[in-house]
Amino acid sequence: MTRRVLAACLAVALLLLGSVAPAWAATEEAVLAGGCFWCLEHDLEDLLGVIDAESGYSGGHLENPSYGQVSSGGTSHQEVVRVRFDPQRISYPTLLRVYWRNVDPLDGGGQFCDRGGSYKPVIFTEGDQQLKDAKASLQAAAQELGKPASAIQVQIKPLKRFWPAEGYHQNYAVNNAIKYNYYRWACGRDRRLDQLWGSRARSDAPWMAKR
């Protein structure tokens, strides 16, 4: 009797593991630079299908850089956000569509009030499909803005390594709401996004599902 119970429990456990594993295996990642990572993390983390968003650094030559090193401009890193998402609920092209509406694609010298290389907009891709989707999204953004593709300053680069930012940068918009909201307003981010994209700006556009 005991053996039968144990066998039944084992079968149930294997069944549960089997049902969980495919969902875990199906997650994908996107690494995106769009100026201040506090803002981009906050813009993307609550989208339906996004599992989590983490601020960090990518694109540079120094291993495990600090915020001070990156912001000084000597490491060639950009502030980025790594987004883990369920492609069954939100596709990579859809995520890129949201990304474009949260950046100024015409500004390659930084983003909004933040200037310098660490704030440049970049789409970091992994694999041929992400590269193909990123290039297609650039063309679509240019067409939507009524600009030639050559006017778009967002770069597309292969992802080499993502380095998580310090803990105090994570969930900054939630943990420091007053400071974050003042910074975002003073930086003119939303004013410029509205100027560029109109009602399609940001992640709260009517077409975008939020959780």
Residues with catalytic annotation?
Answer: 36
CA 111 to chain centre: 15
- Residue ranges of alpha helices (H) inside 33-188 are 37-44, 67-71, 92-100, 127-145, 172-175, 177-187
8 Å CB contact between 180 and 172: yes
CA 17 to chain centre: 29
How far is the C-alpha of 52 from the C-alpha of 47, rounded, in Å? 9
Q: Say how many residues make up the chain.
A: 211
8 Å CB contact between 49 and 26: no
**Which amino acid, residue 111?**
Q
Helix (H, G, I), strand (E, B) or coil at 168: helix
115: which strand partners? 110
8 Å CB contact between 160 and 58: yes
Token readout for 180 is: 């974050």
**H or E segment and range at residue 157:** strand 155-158
